[in-house]
Structure 1
Amino acid sequence: MMGAGNFMDEFKRDAVAQITERGYPVKEVSARLGVSMHSLYAWRRKFTKAVSCDTEKNAEIRRLKRELVRVSEERDILKKATAYFARDAR
């Protein structure tokens, strides 16, 4: 059996996916892969935090994109209004 520090991140993510996505019990995955249950729980915490952080970043990016579209539309409307009133002022 290898120590927890000897596993690649890809292996750890796959092990966590068996628990979180495929619904296998931690005890079963631990026995099948030869990894301690403690390591699996630690990996799950580590990779779940990374995913939630990415999710928050993606949500912020989506919000900023929506705001950019709104502000761009407002700018275009103001440009047209300015041109309209400048034409009438002559």
Structure 2
Amino acid sequence: MRTQRFALEFKGEVVTPLSERGYAVAAVCARFGVSSHSPYKWVKALSPGNLEKQAAELIEAKRERFRLNQIPCFFGDHHGH
């Protein structure tokens, strides 16, 4: 069985009633048609501290990618020419 992927906006719509309004997880999950396990992961993933950490990691990864792209390739043409 394939795991269903939800858009970030949808996750935010599910998390908001839980974190800001204090609604019960079971009620919110029934309303949105998601399992009762998912919102716990989403609340943690969408917490401000975690989002800041993910943004910093993304910036660092992009810097590293840029740095590596500046290094000449001595082991063959990596562009397929």
TM range (shorter): 0.5 to 0.7
Determine which of 49, 52, 56 is the counterpart of 2:49.
52
Number of equivalent positions: 52
Partners in 1 of 2:17 and 2:3 — Cα distance?
17
Higher helix fraction (1 or 2): 1
Find the counterpart in structure 2 of residue 34 from structure 1: 33
Ranked by relative contact order (alpha carbons within 8 Å, sequence separation 6 or more), the top structure is 1
Larger radius of gyration: 1
Superposition RMSD on alpha carbons, in Å? 2.2
Q: Which runs of 4+ in 1 moved over 6 A?
A: none
Mind listing any 5+ residue stretches in structure 1 that lack a counterpart?
A: 57-90
Alignment partner, residue 6 of structure 1: 5
Identity of aligned residues (%): 38
Matched letter for residue 47 of structure 1? L
1:21-54 superposed Cα distances (whole Å, 9 cap, x missing partner): 1111111101111101101111111111xx1256
TM-score normalised to the size of structure 1?
Answer: 0.49
TM-score by length of 2: 0.54
